Structure 1
Amino acid sequence: MSSGLALAALPVNAAEQNGSESTLILYSIAPGPLASTLNEFASTAGITLTFDPAQVRGLNSNGLHDRYSVSNALHMLLANTGLQANRTASGAYILVPGVSRALPTVNVRAEAVSTSTEKTLSYDREQLDKINPQDIKDVFKREASVAVGGSITANQKVYVRGIEETAMAVSIDGARQNNKVFHHNATNLIDPALLKTVRASAGVSPADDGPGALGGSLVYETIDVADVLHADETLGGFADLAYQTNGEIFGAKGALMAQTNGFEFLAYANKLHGGDYEDGDSNKVHFTEPALTSVLLKAAYSSADIGRFEISHDRTEDDSARPYRANLMSVRGRPVPESRRYDLERETTVFEYSRDTGQGLFNPSILISDSATRVVTTEVPLSPNDQIIINNGGTSSTSAKLKNVFHTSFAHISAGVDYYDDTAKFREEINPEFMQEKAENIGIFTQVRHEVAKYLDLSYGVRYDDQKFTGTDGSSFDEQGASANLSTDLHLGQYVSVNAAFAKVWGGVALAENYILNDAWDYSRAILPVESDNYSVGIKSHYNGFILEGNLFETDIQNGRVPSWREGGDLVADFLIEGFDVLFGYISQRGEITLGYADIESKKDGKAATSYDGNYFTAPLGRLITLNAELNFHDTKVQLGLNGEKALKNKKIEKEGRAQRGYLVLNAYANYQLTEQLRLRVFADNLTDRAYADRATYGQEFVDVVPIYEPGRSVGISLRYQF
């Protein structure tokens, strides 16, 4: 190979696509020259691996004969060579001189087989550690087709290809999330610092990702002991201190973990505190002080003979005074108190057993979980001002999944049954009784994944769901429906592949937002179950480090529930979200640069959807451009990065009063590995000190709404010690 040539191996193993970090693959690679063993490894794992032939000249490898994750396999192949493989933000791997790890991904835990054609985006622990996200917006900032509205943890919502996360099947550590509490605050409160992987399957998601995936699925996984400790280490952890100038924000987080004789223990905590930030015009944005507290506890036992048992509990809370409507500053002509207290809390408890050897017909897993989100608002009304009003809303979901993976010579088949019992509750202080809606669902599913002649990857599946819905008045009715999906990836030679996907989804009846529940609603006219049709086609190309990707997509949602406290609980609407995205970039040993563009249009009942119309379904996003660059100085252990977002003016909703303004924001960072255990990070967000509201932030099109502006320039520093 010539210097810098990317080994763009075709995905030839359905068990490990796109460099999934936690799936185990069976390797049979004979000892020999390192260059040839790496070539064979990249082909088997289905990854892109880049190195200079001069790096490996004269080096040999002992080969590989067993089941390993990608990270562990590379660690074994490169042992005693003085080299290591770093994963880039795009998912490729680059061979570099050995440097100290900051937070490596060495997880050997097996997960459900998945394919690259199912994934719209995927981040592993190494990539997330490089991003060093302070909030969920940071996780997705490099994606042109993913927008996060809101400026603080308490009001941020994620939109994947224009689909709001509530219209997706969202899970944390496999636990179903049912978090439609109050449209003025965040949907899924989560601490990104505890994440090890994030995966999105926009539009078309596999049947085993769960029910209700109208716009696809969004999967979060939290860190395990094996994400930090090597197999020969028994005790370790990390401590992280950070400071930002804008708002004088201080954060401290850390984890302590241990492993011995198959047992694992992990404890993690994070705390942020500070003041209100200033926007780009040096105006104080009141009631934006950070107030995040999060905790994660895990215990597990693994055995090659009997499998893995794990129990975990995570809790995230944001409790502080916020703008009266937490996702906007004010509405002209509608006098309300300037602020009220939002106590927003999400917690999830999960028990999981799994045993997947990667072969044979008996590879069972069982997952039982309980998750809940609660929002308590406390306010003093304008008159009389001696009264305190407390409202309490909460959603909960008890869910379970029993699944088996059949590994055959023909395909990997995932089949099983899942269940959820969701509840939405609301109570005013003056009324001791909770109003509630409930939905109980049992589903059966199967998903088949295989390749045909090493040129065509296929993933297809079906599920059938039976749901019982109960309204606030106690009336109930049953609904049933089927869903199906198909994803294909055809490799046209070594450098080009084309993909296409389709899904028809039956979502049942969605629970209403807690804060609009009304016990006077009339359910005599049954609510129509929501359904969706999803399509996407795309192309991927790579050559000598250059990459080019493009996708067309459409999600058509029918009978999306849009209840109103005043007008009733049986209202529905149709939503159409369509658009395209492209990505162009170059990857080399020294780093990478990518440029992304997305154009997304959303409609409700045939008309352009506003941020009000699209609550829990979509938002007006328009045209977004992202730039990401990374430069590595391996000899000095320094890494420099730059990312930016350009939002073009959006006139498609100007009829509501005004167009969404365009903006350009740039962020930069530098990582420096001071010692084997100590890493320094310096970053500057919003370098040009631009005053702007993020494109997905609520209310910019309405002349009577004052939206929340993002923070102005902020310089920060963080120090991580790993032991």
Structure 2
Amino acid sequence: MPLSYKVLLAGVSSVALVSAAMAQDTLGSAENPIMLDPITLVSDGQENVEATGGIAITQEDIEELAPADVSELFARDSAVSVSGGAGPSKRIHVFGMEQSNLAVSVDGVPQGITSWHHTGSNVIDPAFLRSVEVEAGAAAADAGFGAAAGAVRYETLGAKDLLRDGQAQGGRLNLSYGDNGRGWSGSLAGYGVYENFDWFAMVHGSDGSNYDDGDGNEVPGTEPATQGLLTKLGYEFEGHRVELAYERSEDEADRVIKMNLDLANSTDVYPLKITRNTLSLRYTSVAPTASWDPEALVYVSRDEYWRPNYATGERPVNGDMDLETETIGGILKNTFTLDQGSVTTGLDWAYNDYRVDNYGDFGRGVWTAETMQIGAFAQARLEFDNGIDLSTGVRVDHQRYTDWDNKRLSDTGVSANATLSYEFAEGYEVFAGASQTWLGYDIGEFGLLHARDESFRTADDFEPSEATNFKFGFNANQGNWNGNITYFDTRLKGLGYYNTDGQYDTDPATVAYLGNADDYRSRGVTMQGNYSWGTGRVGASYTKAKLTQDGDKVLPIGDTVMPIGDMATLFIDQDIPDYNLRVGGTLEWAGRLDGDWLRAGSLQFEDQPSYTVVNLYGEWRPQSYENVAVRLGIDNIFDRQYFERSSYAQRADGAPVYPLYAPGRTITLGLTTNF
């Protein structure tokens, strides 16, 4: 982004924040508080989310979808594509950009970068989720550090989300069984309140077998094996609340070496265990005032990826892997409420320690690296009487990077964002947004170190990365219907890149290194629309994205970005009150990718065919037992053979790499009861 744009964004943010601070003086003080309802920008509080090209998935949506994994969680949203295969391989891409380029959090706890592009670093279990927000493109300053292409916020369930009126304690049991490898899945939750305490505990597990694709071919290493635990304990006193939470996710099963592709039609599988443990302590105020609405969070998390020693040969590039990441961090912020809206200010910090063990008999043996980041941010969300709304903010981050050779780099950067909307008629508005985001030293897929020689180094000219986002569009909201169209343009500059051209050279001039990649870019358009009629609703979305690197179209090779072309979804839900029945369905469509898009040099890929997948469900609640729900779901009802757009495509020449096909027709029967 030219310097003039950076200065303009920072200037807009500074003026808005200073004006808001001056206005705060007229609203009251801690001694004389004025209670105000919070106001946010665009479409009833959906600032920077649905109304500007993003996604909001509610608790009701999740209950209707009953998703077994993140592919099903985002099945109604064309802006998000998901890698195929078993649970640990499922990484999301927003507008074709992989999740490491977004600030991903669970209950405010950052999830960190993807360790290896063939397998995700953690497993998001939809059984625990209450809501999801995807902030696409220009993200707010309080979205977190490293929000290059936006942010994804997962929120988990708690006692107050499930307790019914008049209940002091309760529970929920969910059981399901599906064919085509889905097998058994179940969760059990207990929750309640007692005086000033509230508590929540939930366990979930699944056990199945490999699924068959639409042509009846078994896909090895795809058996469900997710297990999870979520506990929360809250205490409120004199207007304050503290909550201690612990979350554990685990997936342990026999998997193929590279889980998001079919390598040479191999059926070989090996033990793989992926775990994540997170402990967090949160403080909030339950009696906020205009000038005092604080939140404090401290957390510690540990990710582990363990694949045992089965490799052979002198340099087992595709062999064993033992990855480990430990993170400790915190967030401290306060929201000031004004006549015009709100201003959130705060600090966040995170220390990350990375460890990679070369199980093979060459190289360094153990690689370690660490990063330390601390940032200060302020974000204003303002709404004016003349129809103009403004969300703008700035953050300053300092980061230190120490590599495996104890080489230390440090730098400081400034990020700024602004989203402006104008309501020119009631319920109709236009908007424009931009952001410049400083990302620090991006170490990329650190799991690649497992196959590097001891001479691998950090380049002398390794620099911090940056991201630039632009978006503009039109939004309409008329009560029972709403829609929007958004044009987006995201550029990622200097992301971490593991150059291996000289992997085994000894000449310092040609040895392999961690450096900065050529610029990535995703630009295109996304549209959404929804209509409701009381007992039902229908919705649709369409996304077209062109992804390039250094001006050339990217190939489907599975790391930072993936070509997605044209994608669309259509869904419908309908209640039939006379029978206590709800039915619905989802249609997913992807256009054909062909031509020069998939061919560059020696990397030749076959065309990716278009596909259409239809999923149907029905849910019945017996009249005498309204706390019981029976659900029948049929996914891929026409048994179509297809692979999701962010999975690998088939290669025509060179090493044989084939797509990892999605499940064929799968029928699932589930029972949920609240007690």
TM-score bin (small chain): 0.7 to 0.9
Q: CA deviation at 1:428?
A: 2.5
Q: CA deviation at 1:342?
A: 1.5
Secondary structure of residue in 2 paired with 1:449? strand
| Partner amino acid, structure 2, of 1:602 | L
Residue 323 of structure 2 contacts residue 355 of structure 2 at CA under 8 Å; is this kept in 1? yes
Q: Answer yes or no: is 1:557 the counterpart of 2:502.
A: no
Distance verdict in 2 for CA 1:204–1:322, change over 3 Å = same
Which whole-Å CA distance do the structure 2 matches of 1:506 and 1:679 have between them? 48
| Partner amino acid, structure 2, of 1:411 | G
**Map 1:114-153 → 2, pairs under 5 A:** 120-153=54-87
1:527 is aligned to 462
Deviations 1:259-300 (A, max 9, x none): 111211111111100111111111111221111101111111
Residue 53 of structure 2 contacts residue 486 of structure 2 at CA under 8 Å; is this kept in 1? no
Which whole-Å CA distance do the structure 2 matches of 1:346 and 1:118 have between them? 32
Q: Answer yes or no: is 1:235 the counterpart of 2:169.
A: yes
Which whole-Å CA distance do the structure 1 matches of 2:249 and 2:297 have between them? 21
**Map 1:69-88 → 2, pairs under 5 A:** none
Q: CA deviation at 1:120?
A: 1.3
Q: Answer yes or no: is 1:684 the counterpart of 2:650.
A: no
Deviations 1:231-262 (A, max 9, x none): 63211010001011111511111101121112
Secondary structure of residue in 2 paired with 1:661? coil
Q: Answer yes or no: is 1:620 the counterpart of 2:563.
A: yes
Q: Answer yes or no: is 1:539 the counterpart of 2:539.
A: no
Which whole-Å CA distance do the structure 1 matches of 2:381 and 2:640 have between them? 47
Deviations 1:532-590 (A, max 9, x none): 11011121224473433211101011111111352211242210111101223432123
Which whole-Å CA distance do the structure 2 matches of 1:128 and 1:707 have between them? 29
Residue 84 of structure 2 contacts residue 647 of structure 2 at CA under 8 Å; is this kept in 1? yes
Which whole-Å CA distance do the structure 2 matches of 1:288 and 1:44 have between them? 43
2:581 is aligned to 638
2:597 is aligned to 653
Q: Answer yes or no: is 1:172 the counterpart of 2:116.
A: no
Distance verdict in 2 for CA 1:47–1:411, change over 3 Å = closer
Partner of residue 211 from structure 2, selected from 269, 274, 277? 277
Partner of residue 482 from structure 1, selected from 399, 402, 414? 414
Secondary structure of residue in 1 paired with 2:127? helix
Partner of residue 403 from structure 1, selected from 330, 333, 342? 333
2:379 is aligned to 447
Which whole-Å CA distance do the structure 2 matches of 1:546 and 1:479 have between them? 47
Of 629-638 and 209-218, the range deviating more from structure 2:
629-638
Which whole-Å CA distance do the structure 1 matches of 2:115 and 2:459 have between them? 25
Q: CA deviation at 1:611?
A: 2.6
Q: CA deviation at 1:382?
A: 6.4
Taking only the aligned residue pairs, the percentage that are identical comes to: 25
Q: CA deviation at 1:415?
A: 0.6
Residue 293 of structure 1 contacts residue 318 of structure 1 at CA under 8 Å; is this kept in 2? yes
Residue 698 of structure 1 contacts residue 707 of structure 1 at CA under 8 Å; is this kept in 2? yes
Q: CA deviation at 1:359?
A: 2.9
Which whole-Å CA distance do the structure 2 matches of 1:499 and 1:357 have between them? 34
Distance verdict in 2 for CA 1:46–1:357, change over 3 Å = farther
Residue 530 of structure 1 contacts residue 559 of structure 1 at CA under 8 Å; is this kept in 2? yes
Residue 118 of structure 1 contacts residue 459 of structure 1 at CA under 8 Å; is this kept in 2? no
Q: CA deviation at 1:117?
A: 5.5
Which whole-Å CA distance do the structure 2 matches of 1:356 and 1:264 have between them? 14
Partner of residue 649 from structure 2, selected from 699, 710, 717? 699
Partner of residue 572 from structure 1, selected from 517, 523, 534? 517
Of 491-500 and 595-604, the range deviating more from structure 2:
491-500
Residue 439 of structure 1 contacts residue 511 of structure 1 at CA under 8 Å; is this kept in 2? no
Q: Answer yes or no: is 1:506 the counterpart of 2:506.
A: no
Residue 309 of structure 2 contacts residue 360 of structure 2 at CA under 8 Å; is this kept in 1? no
Partner of residue 582 from structure 1, selected from 502, 509, 527? 527
Which whole-Å CA distance do the structure 2 matches of 1:118 and 1:496 have between them? 13
**Map 1:244-393 → 2, pairs under 5 A:** 244-247=178-181, 249-303=183-237, 305-331=238-264, 338-355=268-285, 357-378=287-308, 380-381=310-311, 390-393=320-323
Which whole-Å CA distance do the structure 2 matches of 1:610 and 1:350 have between them? 39
Which whole-Å CA distance do the structure 1 matches of 2:87 and 2:578 have between them? 37
Distance verdict in 2 for CA 1:571–1:557, change over 3 Å = closer
| Partner amino acid, structure 2, of 1:268 | M
Which whole-Å CA distance do the structure 2 matches of 1:664 and 1:400 have between them? 44
Q: CA deviation at 1:136?
A: 0.8
Distance verdict in 2 for CA 1:27–1:449, change over 3 Å = closer
Residue 629 of structure 2 contacts residue 671 of structure 2 at CA under 8 Å; is this kept in 1? yes
Partner of residue 610 from structure 2, selected from 662, 674, 677? 662
Residue 528 of structure 1 contacts residue 572 of structure 1 at CA under 8 Å; is this kept in 2? no
Unaligned 5+ segments in structure 2 are 1-19, 21-33, 504-511
**Map 1:420-435 → 2, pairs under 5 A:** 420-429=350-359, 434-435=366-367
Residue 119 of structure 1 contacts residue 199 of structure 1 at CA under 8 Å; is this kept in 2? no
2:5 is aligned to none
Q: Answer yes or no: is 1:217 the counterpart of 2:151.
A: yes
Partner of residue 414 from structure 1, selected from 315, 336, 344? 344
Which whole-Å CA distance do the structure 1 matches of 2:178 and 2:434 have between them? 44
Residue 499 of structure 1 contacts residue 539 of structure 1 at CA under 8 Å; is this kept in 2? yes
Q: CA deviation at 1:179?
A: 3.8
Which whole-Å CA distance do the structure 1 matches of 2:235 and 2:322 have between them? 38
Deviations 1:364-396 (A, max 9, x none): 221101122211112534679xxx975311223
Deviations 1:80-105 (A, max 9, x none): xxxxxxxxxxx9xxxxxxxxxxxxxx
Q: CA deviation at 1:477?
A: 1.2
| Partner amino acid, structure 1, of 2:485 | G
Which whole-Å CA distance do the structure 2 matches of 1:493 and 1:306 have between them? 41
Distance verdict in 2 for CA 1:467–1:46, change over 3 Å = closer
> TM-score if structure 1 supplies the norm length?
0.81
Which whole-Å CA distance do the structure 1 matches of 2:459 and 2:535 have between them? 65
Q: CA deviation at 1:46?
A: 8.9
2:3 is aligned to none
Q: Answer yes or no: is 1:605 the counterpart of 2:553.
A: no
| Partner amino acid, structure 1, of 2:658 | V
Secondary structure of residue in 1 paired with 2:393? strand
Which whole-Å CA distance do the structure 2 matches of 1:683 and 1:660 have between them? 28
Q: Answer yes or no: is 1:436 the counterpart of 2:388.
A: no
1:156 is aligned to 90
Which whole-Å CA distance do the structure 2 matches of 1:326 and 1:172 have between them? 24
Q: Answer yes or no: is 1:720 the counterpart of 2:668.
A: no
Distance verdict in 2 for CA 1:546–1:233, change over 3 Å = closer
| Partner amino acid, structure 1, of 2:561 | T
Secondary structure of residue in 1 paired with 2:249? strand
Aligned length: 616
Q: Answer yes or no: is 1:711 the counterpart of 2:663.
A: yes
Instruction: Tell me which of the two structures has the higher relative contact order, counting C-alpha pairs closer than 8 angstroms and 6 or more residues apart.
Output: 2
1:60 is aligned to none
Unaligned 5+ segments in structure 1 are 1-13, 15-24, 29-40, 49-69, 71-90, 92-112
Residue 538 of structure 1 contacts residue 550 of structure 1 at CA under 8 Å; is this kept in 2? yes
Secondary structure of residue in 1 paired with 2:64? helix
> TM-score if structure 2 supplies the norm length?
0.86
**Map 1:586-597 → 2, pairs under 5 A:** 586-597=531-542
RMSD: 2.7
Which whole-Å CA distance do the structure 2 matches of 1:700 and 1:266 have between them? 46
Which whole-Å CA distance do the structure 1 matches of 2:83 and 2:319 have between them? 28
Q: CA deviation at 1:356?
A: 5.7
Residue 337 of structure 1 contacts residue 382 of structure 1 at CA under 8 Å; is this kept in 2? no
Deviations 1:388-428 (A, max 9, x none): 97531122321111111112334311111110111221013
Deviations 1:340-373 (A, max 9, x none): 2211112211111011645321222211011222
Q: Answer yes or no: is 1:456 the counterpart of 2:407.
A: no
Secondary structure of residue in 1 paired with 2:473? strand
Which whole-Å CA distance do the structure 1 matches of 2:427 and 2:173 have between them? 43
